[in-house]
Structure 1
Amino acid sequence: MHTSLSSDAWNFGVQVMPSDAYRYAFGGAVNLPGGVGEPEREVRLERPLDFAAVTDHAEFLGEQAICNDPQSPGYASGFCEVMRSGEGRAPALVMRIMSPFSSRDVDTCEADGERCGQRAERVWESTIAAAEAHQDHSSHCERTTFVAYEYSSFRMGSNLHRNVIFRNATVPQRPISYLEAHREWDLWRLLETHCNDSDTGCESLAIPHNSNISNGRMFAVDYPGASSIDEQVQRAALRARLEPVVEIMQHKGDSECRNGLAGVLGGEDELCNFEKFEGFAFTSTVGENEEVGSCYAGPLADWVPHLGPDCLTRNSYVRYALIEGLKEEQRLGVNPFKVGLSASTDTHNGIPGAVNERNFPGHLGEADSSALQRVQFDRAIPGNASNGPGGIIGVWAESNSRDSIFDALKRREVFGTSGPRIQPRFFGGWDIHADTCESPQRIALAYETGVAMGQDLPPKQASEPVFLVAAAADPGTDALPGVPLQRLQVVKGWADAQGNHHQRVFDVAGNPNNGASVDPADCRPKGEGFAQLCAVWRDPEFDAGTSAVYYLRAVENPSCRYTAHQCLQLPEDERPADCDSPFMDPVIQERAWSSPIWYTPAG
């Protein structure tokens, strides 16, 4: 989540500070800006979160503080005048995080950038203090906060953002931003040097997000600058150590998968059409009768500039990164994409967890402060209908404490949802009993006889692996009841000798043909679903000689997207044309994704 310390949130009138955001996360109220001439709006989360992290952009923390302080020596710089005026502000900042040779503005920051660095330290200290003030340090563990920030590389026009999460309040003196580390592997090395290997008690990890708009560069496998196999092995291992988790969903859409991509075999997955924000981005850069371009993958591919996300490739999506990781492990002996799956809100209003489709208040301050702004597909409105409420992250941990949650992230016992509080379970092994679901101790039995999500299957012991899949639906609240589950699916991926990616989606519990539906004309759900589902499933197509990756997808019955709900809330004579012809599907199926389980042949 972002607060007014992030330049993009501040640009849109957001005044929520880190302490306010944590207060909201744990049940308190905050005020959001209204439209022009409109009063502020008070919002409150109907169900407090267990844990949260403020992840303000590290870039421009110092500059923004200087540009808002008339007593600061850099206040009168041209950079600050642009930043304060709003005219050309966004393009000026974007160019700074897009250039591969970016540096800080000399007039604002001095030649060595130290003026901005020192101011950034003061802002960083306030972020740390807010996390410490809201952390429950007692044994009750009622609420947990993490010191964190976002590394916001938009290098060459491709989204390469990472959320950097620290185990505790022992952290570097200032956050490492794109202006100090122009390549993600430089970020990893600096985090390892100045934190993880510093013998100070500092420990960090990074979570990539929004790979769907990365032009294939989030999961690229070309290792620029690492020419030898040994160098590639070292970089892959560094990535595996620093990035154990990836984000599959946030307010800029779903990054799981996409139909119709070259080199992906196994047929269409109908649920891959979910929340495709990049459709908006591509529409804005491609003519009506033109095809979206594929990403160039030749020499010096990572130096090809993009004005924004303008090409499609499987390396922009998490499912295919998981499969690419299997190929890299065969080639290098290291899987750089052995990642757990998470989701997050990425709100720019400082309101983490505000993801309920029925009362979504927007995510970008003044830009989407009204329902009319939120339901329109207008490229002039930054907070338009292409955005969604975002998701949430869950972990299976011993307690709601920093250490337990951080350990769960490291071992990848983590899951993400598109917003609802679905609770998925996924275990794999060779001798999980067929009747495990009938046992009241089924989870304990699954831990005894298998491995949990995020782990490797032990060496082969039987003819095919067996998986326990289970999920509990989000019960919701009395005022906002949850939506029942429709089905559980196991998604399997593997690669062939020609480098093609293969995918198979198995329905393993529930009923995809249960007749459940919802009409966007009134958003009233129809049909029955399931409060809980559980099954023991064996892979009927198992090949002992082929590496494979499996994960669970728990899917709800159809429900209305927030745009359909908010169109209904508008008086009929005030509804824009987008309510009748929406750009985004008004009916969605919310879901949860477990972290994967991997199979690797012996030897």
Structure 2
Amino acid sequence: MGVQPWDKEGNTLRSLKLNRPLDFAVVTDHAELFGETAICNSPDMEGYSAWQCKLYRKYPRAAFFMFNFKAGSRSGRLGFCGEDGSLCRDAGSGPWQAMQNAAEDAYDRSEHCEFTSFVGYEWTGLGAGDMANLHRNVIFRNASVPDQPLSFVDYPSAETLWSGLDKECLERQDGCDALIIPHNSNLSAGKMFSVADLDGNPVETGTRSKRQQYEPIVEVMQHKGSSECFFSTGQTEDELCAFEQLPYSRFAGKFFSLLQKSPKPTDGFLRDVLNNGLILEQDTGINPFQFGFIASTDTHIGAAGGVAEDNYLGHGGAGAPASETTMRGLPDDIEYNPGGLAVVWAEENSRDAIFSAMRRKETYGTSGPRMVVRFFAAKELDKDLCSSSNYVAEAYENGVPMGGVLPPLSDGSAPAFLVSAAMDSGTPASQGTPLQQIQIIKGWIDQKGNKRQKVHTVAGNPDNGASVDLKSCRREGDGYKQLCEVWKDPEFDASQRAYYYARVVENPSCRWSQYICAANRVDCSSSASIPAGLEACCADTHRPVIQERAWTSPIWYSPEGDN
């Protein structure tokens, strides 16, 4: 497919083709500006000649900031939308219908089930005063959708979005159903999962139940960093938490120095949020943060699935805008990454099956590779289950899969966890990277009410000596094609609430930026060897090596069982 930038004749100057097709995808454009951009691109529409539209057509980067700030400021729409905003709201019907039509055209309804497309959009919420990222992707089960997308302009809180979907979708009783995926919470300054309303008052129990209903899964990884866990030298033992961690805690921190605050553990990182959920369950009987995990790209150039480190074209949006300049240097800002992939365990490749899998949280995310990962828990599992040819069926029969809740245990036993992973086999042109290790991360609330976390390496070898040659990006050292283990928590306490999820880690490999730096023979000891546009190759913040990974949805344990 052709991707931006375009020449003066409208031809794309770059192209991208995936080595392997996707099974499913959804385009989630920003609903707040559907109508505004439609008007500014349509000479026959009222408002086309407004000064804001002239700015949009002549200086799109400046308009990007102005339009988005207005849409996220809770102060209504741009002036050319009319006093009640109806001009832009009505104009948004065209793009919304076009998105529905495109999803329908792409959906393979034949018996082959080769590709599933969903209808969806992005609700682009921002925190009041600090521009904290509250973005959420709204995904619909089928072609029955609201007449208009419910945007942040008209539904300026998560709570009003949920109640709006009740009215505009579920209560129609025509098959409309939706779920919401909180989007890169690492930039939310801790506000994505607030249990208070806009005035700071605690939300009611019923509102927490609504979150359970509408937000079963969250993004653990995407273009703008990882939201798994926080890392700081000397403060965090788990060094793998440093993976794709951004240096700022809110979206606006990238652009405005007054809002450029360093991240901290409570800024929306999911391990801390999961622990908060255990505390809320203990206090109220409801865990509103019993989330499953996926990953996504957040691409803004229409390149779904473009996650290959060795062929990254940038994702646009808040990163480096696609232009002829980016074609000569790094195609994106150095702190961003290609994003990840969402994986679901569904009975078939169809909207209903995939949607149901997301709702029951039988999902996992990867940072790009296509590892095959399983995670189960049960009261008892055969310690030799990994050697069985039918281990998956036996695990389903005896336990719960990722996203599930273990029944209470009161006989002094500890649950058994089965985790297995197969490396991404790659393609003939680009072979996959061997696995290094599997870890199970446990979070719990101790007897004193403190939030606790611990990482257990259960398979593989974190000290296997694998490395990568930074000049050629050739991977070196041994690893594993497959790993599997049945593990029991040696510190299990049946009276303590806990969650467990698996993290599968590959051997080291080159990051996208290093592939480009190495291909251009950048030598940071010689300034003459650094081509224009590649100065970031030698920045202190450049991370040349990464360890790609997968994160399963958690499995929970509660002394009272499933709530």
Fold-level similarity (TM above 0.5): yes
Is 1:44 the counterpart of 2:5? The answer is no
Alpha-carbon spacing, 1:152–1:499, altered in 2? closer, same or farther (3 Å): farther
Task: Give the 3-state SS of the residue equivalent to 1:503 in structure 2.
Answer: strand
Structure 1: 5+ residue runs without aligned partners? 1-28, 288-305
Aligned-partner Cα distance in 2 for 1:538–1:137: 43
Alpha-carbon spacing, 1:166–1:261, altered in 2? closer, same or farther (3 Å): farther
Q: 5 Å matches for 1:470-489?
A: 470-489=420-439
Structure 2: 5+ residue runs without aligned partners? 523-528
Is 1:234 the counterpart of 2:213? The answer is no
Task: Give the 3-state SS of the residue equivalent to 2:338 in structure 1.
Answer: coil
Aligned-partner Cα distance in 1 for 2:341–2:152: 26
Of the three residues 54, 58, 61, the one matched with 2:34 is 61
Find the counterpart in structure 2 of residue 26 from structure 1: none
Is 1:268 the counterpart of 2:199? The answer is no
Give 1:391's aligned amino acid.
G
Assess if the C-alpha contact under 8 Å between 2:265 and 2:272 holds in 1.
Answer: no
Bigger drift between 273-282 and 333-342 goes to 273-282
Bigger drift between 311-320 and 523-532 goes to 311-320
Alpha-carbon spacing, 1:191–1:154, altered in 2? closer, same or farther (3 Å): same
Is 1:277 the counterpart of 2:231? The answer is no
Give 1:545 deviation, angstroms. 1.1
Aligned-partner Cα distance in 1 for 2:104–2:118: 8
Of the three residues 104, 118, 124, the one matched with 2:77 is 104
Is 1:358 the counterpart of 2:310? The answer is yes
Aligned-partner Cα distance in 2 for 1:225–1:56: 29
Assess if the C-alpha contact under 8 Å between 2:248 and 2:260 holds in 1.
Answer: no
Of the three residues 365, 375, 386, the one matched with 2:335 is 386
Give 1:597's aligned amino acid.
I
Aligned-partner Cα distance in 2 for 1:54–1:67: 21
Task: Give the 3-state SS of the residue equivalent to 1:125 in structure 2.
Answer: helix
Task: Give the 3-state SS of the residue equivalent to 1:147 in structure 2.
Answer: strand
Give 1:240's aligned amino acid.
Q
Q: Percent identity?
A: 45
Is 1:570 the counterpart of 2:533? The answer is no
Give 2:293's aligned amino acid.
L
Assess if the C-alpha contact under 8 Å between 2:217 and 2:293 holds in 1.
Answer: yes
Bigger drift between 411-420 and 148-157 goes to 148-157
Task: Give the 3-state SS of the residue equivalent to 1:259 in structure 2.
Answer: coil
Give 1:282 deviation, angstroms. 9.3
Is 1:348 the counterpart of 2:300? The answer is yes
Find the counterpart in structure 1 of residue 372 from structure 2: 423
Alpha-carbon spacing, 1:261–1:195, altered in 2? closer, same or farther (3 Å): farther
After superposition, what is the alpha-carbon deviation per residue over 1:461-504, rounded to whole angstroms, capped at 9, x for unaligned?
55111100111110110101110110100000012355532110
Alpha-carbon spacing, 1:65–1:276, altered in 2? closer, same or farther (3 Å): same
Task: Give the 3-state SS of the residue equivalent to 2:77 in structure 1.
Answer: coil
Alpha-carbon spacing, 1:242–1:550, altered in 2? closer, same or farther (3 Å): same
Aligned-partner Cα distance in 1 for 2:15–2:41: 26
Bigger drift between 517-526 and 479-488 goes to 517-526
Find the counterpart in structure 1 of residue 164 from structure 2: 190
Find the counterpart in structure 2 of residue 211 from structure 1: 185
Assess if the C-alpha contact under 8 Å between 1:35 and 1:370 holds in 2.
Answer: no
Assess if the C-alpha contact under 8 Å between 1:141 and 1:400 holds in 2.
Answer: yes
Is 1:367 the counterpart of 2:367? The answer is no
Alpha-carbon spacing, 1:36–1:276, altered in 2? closer, same or farther (3 Å): farther
Aligned-partner Cα distance in 2 for 1:486–1:311: 28
Give 1:125 deviation, angstroms. 0.5
Aligned-partner Cα distance in 1 for 2:104–2:551: 31
Bigger drift between 326-335 and 309-318 goes to 309-318
Is 1:220 the counterpart of 2:172? The answer is no
Is 1:339 the counterpart of 2:291? The answer is yes
Assess if the C-alpha contact under 8 Å between 1:314 and 1:320 holds in 2.
Answer: yes
Q: 5 Å matches for 1:180-579?
A: 180-225=154-199, 227=201, 231-260=203-232, 268-279=237-248, 307=259, 312-364=264-316, 367-368=321-322, 383-460=332-409, 463-496=413-446, 499-570=449-520, 572=522, 573-575=529-531, 576-579=534-537
Aligned length: 545
Task: Give the 3-state SS of the residue equivalent to 1:278 in structure 2.
Answer: coil
Assess if the C-alpha contact under 8 Å between 1:341 and 1:594 holds in 2.
Answer: yes
Give 1:241's aligned amino acid.
Q
Aligned-partner Cα distance in 2 for 1:220–1:275: 24
Of the three residues 542, 546, 557, the one matched with 1:588 is 546
Give 1:98 deviation, angstroms. 3.3
TM-score by length of 2: 0.91
Aligned-pair RMSD on alpha carbons?
Answer: 2.5
TM-score by length of 1: 0.85
Task: Give the 3-state SS of the residue equivalent to 1:352 in structure 2.
Answer: coil
Give 1:441's aligned amino acid.
N
